[in-house]
Chain A
Amino acid sequence: MKLASRLRLLIMIAVLALSVAIVAAQDEAVLVIGHAESTDSLDPARGFTQTTGIINRVAYDTLVTFPDEDASEILPWLATDWTISEDGTEYTFTLRDDVTFVSGNPLTAEDVVFSIQRLQSVQGNPAFLADNIESVAANEDGTVTFTLATARPAFLAELTNYAFSVTDSATIMENGGTDADDAAETDGAEMYLNGTSAGTGPYILESWEPQVETVLVKNPNYWGEEPYYDRVIITNIAEAATQKVALEAGDIDLALDLTRDQVATLEGNENLTVYSGPSVYTHFLLMNQDEEYGGPVSDPTVQLAIRYALDYDGYKVLWGGVTPPTNLTVGLVAAYGEDKAFTRDLDRARELLAEAGYADGFDITLSYPDFTWQGVNMNTNAQKIQSDLAEVGINVSLNPGELQVSLEEYRTGIQGFGYWFWGPDILDPIDVISFLPGGKVGAERANWLSENVSDDVNALIAEASSEVDQEARIELFAQLQDYLQESGPFAPFINPAVQAAYRSDLQGFVYHPQWTLDVAVLSLPE
């Protein structure tokens, strides 16, 4: 046989084998997602990262949830309805009666109690979410009652977090888990839960190979609507450029972590659809209230001048997204919209600086981590801040630091003039309390203490922290945001856009502020 004909035969065999393989693979609907994995644990009591959120969103269910597209209201999920006591400290939930776990065990109130108590006792990363829960009890009628230490209007919003996933108590106990007080030392179920899931969600965790890939398979006994994909593979591609090229080549169906310049080059590609929307992360300047650290920027008039001096539109040109009027993430309930945001006013900024006695400007050092977060390079922004402020005579020298080192300075409140970003742990306006006098970022990082401000302001903060009525809350947070714009050591300047892209026939893609992506709602046309 001549070489050419041998080659031809070989190619024919290969093509035949390939088509057999493709036909076999087509039996199963498989979705491949390229994602920069951040998982630290898949145990709901321990994991608290973006990737854990994506996986546990579909491997488990919570009592209540948000709508598919935003965080605008609280919807029933495993709980059909609930009642709240007059003083706002007791919540009683009625559970669905048609739900079973992957193991076949039916969902009971005891499972809810076990899951919450385990979250508290294991003392893992997300345990802080349950700090305000004094006790959880299963009632005789099958309902569950949560008793809170203090009334907390954000409680239901917190309950939507996957940390409050309801887990199969019997299965977890069989595999070394416990909700006893000493669970931090004695609970041994993490390895088990990193290998499979014990929930009620539309998918089951089939495997997690850390920093390589996570595989989910359809849960045949799911109580809700059956998802389209039989199998979902989340493969770890840390590099955005690699995600893009793998998406273009068709090796992945969805790339979750693209950068702005990349999606610009994808826009003409009709096989791919690009998503771009504001992230929940707010980038802001911190100006230390303590004169020892802050120097000139500890002066409230200078702080306001800096808020007027930033070129807000310029940051949007760089990263897309929206300009946040305050540190309360745009898009959350009660948050001000972009229409209330600062616009640059250099004359006003110069006036204010003169008023503060800095008509000729001053020298200051800006500290920030040399870091890229969701495609946003902080160095680039720092350089822009430098040139923005130069226009009003403030001479900024840049001091980039290694992330963890810089973070430590920021955390201990010794950074005079810093640039940071913040993502809300709770999708509720209460998150902005952190940036108010006495709040975590306000007090600990910027030295903005309760005693520095009037009693009226402190009273307003206290009221906003406990008010339950929705209308009243919105009004109170509006007042707080007005206050934060006029005074305060922060200058939020951009909520950059996040970018993703996927094959154009994929339906149902939504980028959610809480769980990023719900793979159970994705499908292809029949």
Chain B
Amino acid sequence: MNFYTYFLRRLLFVVPLLFGITIMAFLIANAVPADPVTANLPQNALNDEDLVQAFREKWGLDKPLHEQYFAYIGNLLQGDMGRSIKTGRPVIEDIQQFLPATMELATLSIFIGLVLGVGVGIISAIYRNSLIDYVSRMFSLIGVSFPVFVLALIGLAVLYGQLGIVAGPGRLGFRTADPPHATGFFLVDSLLAGDLDTFQEAFSHIILPAFILGAYVAGTIARVTRSSLLEVLGMDYMRTARAKGLGERRVLWHGVRNALIPVVTIIGLSYGNLLAGTVLTESIFAWPGIGRYMFRASTSQDFPAIMGVSMLIALIYIIVNFVVDMLYFFLDPRIRGEGR
């Protein structure tokens, strides 16, 4: 199978998948036995039938469910995701505001997680059952099982509150102006503007949450890398490679490349997770990201926002999985062999 067939075949899955997700998200959001009217109107206003009716009409809640759904899909196809009840702005604008903050944090976190996780995993596998292995396995166990929000709270209280070696909540100091908007990534935008002070400040703000999320991801990646590499190292072809006299480094490279396949999957999933927003971490660090926005939307029955973010998260997962599938193509010769 050549790359393009593989690419197109995977791409074809995306359309029905997205469509299915709109139905699922819509049904789940509506299945909650709660009324957006109660969630959004003040107590005394609930007695005023006119107000309740005006609210229902304004947000289209007076129509039957299937009509609401088709109206939503109709608008969505024209690129209109509706307006958020809570912020009063178009959902697409909200997403444009909140997504870059999350993406910037997720990207830095996954980078930290990748370097730490794969590194620790490989070392652990090579020096199997040695002291190094035990230490790194403990490290990854803590990373996986320690609740992120506890780590976040401790990190904030100690490294920011007590020692002052990193900056505190928010993407920048509360008195600092945002860098001119280009990508929405403050680290990039401040560099583009040639503003090193702001870059430094942004870095000082992002490093702690990124490291905490990175450590969490690293735990999983390290465990998968270790077990996958151990499995590969025991394979017959590795013995063959050694037998035919290849140097230990080249043998290892052989193994690592094959061991990476499950690791890529985990990295993809973790990145998707991080992009879908990490509500607690974002809340604790007052990080204005998509996770916090989603939380706010779901607790106030803000349907347009819930739908918008659900679609966005689904899309993120689809894209990440798609990229992972493409990487498989290059990593796993068996896929290339399919259909021959």
Contacts and interface: CB of A to CB of B under 8 A. Distances in A.
Do the two chains bind?
A: yes
B51 A241 contact: no
A317 interface: no
Interface string A383-427: 000000000000000000011110110010000000000100110
A249 B160 contact: yes
A7 interface: no
Which among B48, B50, B55, B168 has the highest number of chain A CB atoms within 10 Å? B168
B174 interface: yes
A483 interface: no
Interface in A20-43: 21, 25, 30, 32, 40-41
B283 interface: yes
Interface in A501-525: none
Contacts of A184: 54, 57-58
Contacts of A425: 42-44
Interface string A187-203: 00011001000000000
A125 B157 CA distance: 39
A129 to B, nearest CB: 8
A128 to B, nearest CB: 4
Given A40-B40, A123-B51, A127-B51, A251 B286 contact: no
A189 to B, nearest CB: 12
Contact of B161 (A127, A128, A245): A245
A408 B33 contact: yes
Nearest to A403: B299
A237 interface: yes
B41 interface: yes
A134 interface: no
A32 B175 contact: yes
Contacts of B285: 242
B180 interface: no
B42 A241 contact: no
A405 B35 CA distance: 8
B34 A407 contact: yes
A363 interface: no
A245 B51 contact: no
Contact of B174 (A21, A32, A210, A422): A32
A213 B174 CA distance: 9
Contacts of B42: 48, 125-126, 128, 425
Contacts of A239: 283-284, 286
B135 interface: no
A17 interface: yes
Interface in B237-284: 283-284
B54 A123 contact: yes
Contact residue range for chain B?
35 or more
B233 interface: no
Contacts of B160: 245, 249
Given A210-B94, A245-B160, A403-B299, A237 B51 contact: no
Given A40-B40, A127-B45, A245-B161, A237 B286 contact: yes
B34 A404 contact: yes
B153 to A, nearest CB: 6
A211 interface: yes
B286 A422 contact: no
Nearest to B89: A210
B175 A17 contact: no
Given A125-B45, A128-B44, A190 B88 contact: yes
Contacts of B168: 242, 245-246, 249, 251
Contacts of A444: 47
Contacts of A422: 43
Contacts of A242: 156, 168-169, 283-286
A248 interface: yes
B183 interface: no
B39 interface: yes
A402 B32 CA distance: 10
A30 B175 contact: yes
Interface string A37-60: 000110000101000000000000
A152 interface: no
B202 to A, nearest CB: 15
A365 interface: no
Which among A21, A30, A125, A191 has the highest number of chain B CB atoms within 10 Å? A125
Contacts of B296: 211
A405 B293 CA distance: 20
B38 interface: yes
A128 B48 contact: yes
A422 B46 CA distance: 14
B38 A408 contact: yes
Interface in A238-270: 238-239, 241-242, 245-246, 248-249, 251-252
Contact of B292 (A190, A238, A440): A238
B119 interface: no
A129 B98 CA distance: 34
Interface string B154-173: 00110011001000111001
A209 interface: yes
B87 interface: yes
A236 interface: yes
A499 B288 CA distance: 24
B236 interface: no
A408 B34 contact: yes
A236 B48 contact: no
A233 interface: yes
B33 A405 contact: yes
A212 interface: yes
Given A126-B42, A248-B161, A251-B168, A405 B32 contact: yes
A129 B33 CA distance: 28
A74 to B, nearest CB: 20
B97 interface: yes
B293 A241 contact: no
B97 A235 contact: no
Interface of A: 17, 21, 25, 30, 32, 40-41, 46, 48, 123, 125-129, 131, 184, 190-191, 194, 209-213, 233, 235-239, 241-242, 245-246, 248-249, 251-252, 402-405, 407-408, 411, 422, 425-426, 440, 444
9 contacts: A123-B54, A125-B42, A128-B45, A210-B86, A211-B292, A233-B175, A245-B156, A245-B161, A407-B34
- List the 10 shortest-distance A-B pairs measured between CB atoms, nearest first: A404-B34, A123-B54, A210-B87, A128-B45, A245-B161, A237-B286, A212-B288, A425-B44, A128-B48, A32-B174
Given A242-B168, A407-B34, A440-B46, 9 more contacts: A30-B175, A48-B45, A233-B175, A249-B168, A404-B35, A408-B35, A411-B38, A440-B43, A444-B47
